[in-house]
Structure 1
């Protein structure tokens, strides 16, 4: 991973300040005056990687993948053998109670991750050096900001603004430690390939905005704590034959979805704290 220069770090700080102002005040003259800074940063970070560019160059989908799909496939007591018929399906799938045995379901918490990152040298730099951090609709623009939140907001006390974020767990020491709390779901294909890291998503209420993932494999996500409602929709060229679907998952469930062709968004019931572990297979 390429190290960030001081100049680039300063630009990131300026952009985060611009983003915060945009969230609070909307588009205004002050924001428009920063247009050149925003564009220059986009050029440096390779605009081809942006979601708009990916969407513009995405292959047209064959709508067979979503025709007549009105609900997820729900599976219980799944083994690798009886999951084989669904392994690489484009249909949304929920495997119930698949990860109830994970230590993570009892021990993952906001404070656990905060202590882990605050106590590990170079933990925040691993994110600045290229690991993905997603703030969705939150006004938090780095994991360090998340863990520096006032205690009342961190626990979503009454009157506090809800928040929801996700990040790639790329620091090798942290990754090694958190993997002691979970495993890749045992029912996934034996010959499947997996990425080198997993993602953590946690927070309250607002969840992820509607989006596609530009990833090379299918997605799996384990619901460690809290309930979560998913809304999935076909790509635009399939709107005329396919439907938007909504479903919910509970702690211990695993969602499997081809997030490259299903737009997806999530939300969390008011007052609940959600934690998930997410990765890919294929």
Structure 2
């Protein structure tokens, strides 16, 4: 790094990209300095307002093409510098959004390769119950080995309370739950026409009864989280030292639909509890492990909790029950 100062951070120059010793101390300010230095400009929003980031699309495409070309020759550089630069350029700040969104498939191009040792000996999804936090930690918690725990919902009122109507009443137009939603709160319409959570939770009875539907969302409102967590608790099998994310993920839908095959871009492994209905999960190893590891399929029934590192395992789901499927989950560290 240079000894010159820019505010509280040292300036960052293009030549520093080739110095691997610098990556451990790389800050967001450094990245923005670098982007300015190579002509990839951002425009910050005014205080308390959202502003569009003015992105030079030709520069983005040139950078992506350059990174793809050099990938076979210098793999560590491609995923560290490429992911860092593009994330800093395209990820929205608190008060601004990007004019050009990063497609999910493009993110997968810059996904770092994994060591296939994690899946070589995995031939099925284990099914356990009455497992202690110590045994869960030693075998499953951080091993990337998928598992279903059968008895984690035993004392949850969510299995009786959660329903489409419950969520419709919780997320009314006047509620904090919808009012506090921002670009950091995600909504997944999957193969439906819904453009927002509000649309999905106010569909007509005719639409709800005559066509399949499936969607999901993350809850970012603390008051709503408190309501949700009156009906479920931290899974008993998680290691005592681990903490769950404050973000709840909810997925709901009818037979015949589900999530497409994908890999997530979240920070931690996660658990998903099947409160109602039944889903088939299809798991695929990353492409680089295709010839070393095998695909798997497992049915997650009401009362089951599947634990999976969705950042590594490609996965898709399909609702197979006549009853509406309702799943809630979260990440853990």
Under TM normalisation by the shorter chain, which class is it?
0.7 to 0.9
Identify unmatched segments of 5+ residues in structure 2. Answer: 1-46, 54-89
Q: For each residue in 1:199-253, what CA deviation from the matched residue of structure 2 results, as whole angstroms up to 9, or x when unmatched?
A: 1110112011111011111011011001110000011111111111100011111
Tell me if 1:74 matches 2:127. Answer: yes
Q: More deviation in 255-264 or 168-177?
A: 168-177
The aligned residue for residue 135 of structure 1 is 189
Give 1:46 shift.
7.0
Q: For each residue in 1:21-75, what CA deviation from the matched residue of structure 2 results, as whole angstroms up to 9, or x when unmatched?
A: xxxxxxxxxxxxxxxxxxxx99953767542232121111111111132210111
The aligned residue for residue 108 of structure 2 is 55
Give 1:269 shift.
1.1
Give 1:6 shift.
10
User: Contact 2:254–2:319 (CA<8 Å) still a contact in 1?
Assistant: yes
Give 1:162 shift.
0.7
- Which protein shows a greater Rg? 2
Give 1:147 shift.
1.6
Relative CO higher for 1 or 2, CA cutoff 8 Å, sep ≥ 6? 1
Give the Cα separation in 2 of the matches to 1:130 and 1:116: 20
The aligned residue for residue 308 of structure 2 is 257
For 1:11-22, what aligned pairs fall within 5 Å after superposition? Answer: none
Equivalent residue in structure 1 for 2:285, among 225, 229, 234: 234
Give 1:140 shift.
1.1
State the TM-score, normalizing by the size of structure 2.
Answer: 0.68
Equivalent residue in structure 1 for 2:247, among 167, 186, 197: 197
The aligned residue for residue 272 of structure 2 is 221
| Superposed structure 1 runs of 4+ greater than 3 Å apart | 2-8, 41-44, 46-50
Q: For each residue in 1:151-197, what CA deviation from the matched residue of structure 2 results, as whole angstroms up to 9, or x when unmatched?
A: 1333xx2xx22111111111222111111000110110111132222
For 1:1-282, what aligned pairs fall within 5 Å after superposition? Answer: 44-45=97-98, 49-86=102-139, 87-118=141-172, 120-154=174-208, 157=209, 160-205=210-255, 206-269=257-320, 271-282=322-333
Secondary structure at the aligned position of 1:55 is classed as: helix
CA gap 1:63/1:111 in 2 versus in 1, 3 angstroms? same
Give the Cα separation in 2 of the matches to 1:138 and 1:4: 31
Give the Cα separation in 2 of the matches to 1:122 and 1:130: 15
State the TM-score, normalizing by the size of structure 1.
Answer: 0.80
User: Contact 2:150–2:304 (CA<8 Å) still a contact in 1?
Assistant: yes
User: Contact 1:127–1:168 (CA<8 Å) still a contact in 2?
Assistant: no
Give the Cα separation in 2 of the matches to 1:135 and 1:161: 14
Give the Cα separation in 1 of the matches to 2:49 and 2:316: 31
Secondary structure at the aligned position of 1:127 is classed as: coil
The aligned residue for residue 73 of structure 2 is none
Give 1:131 shift.
0.7
Give 1:3 shift.
7.1
CA gap 1:120/1:187 in 2 versus in 1, 3 angstroms? farther
Identify unmatched segments of 5+ residues in structure 1. Answer: 9-40
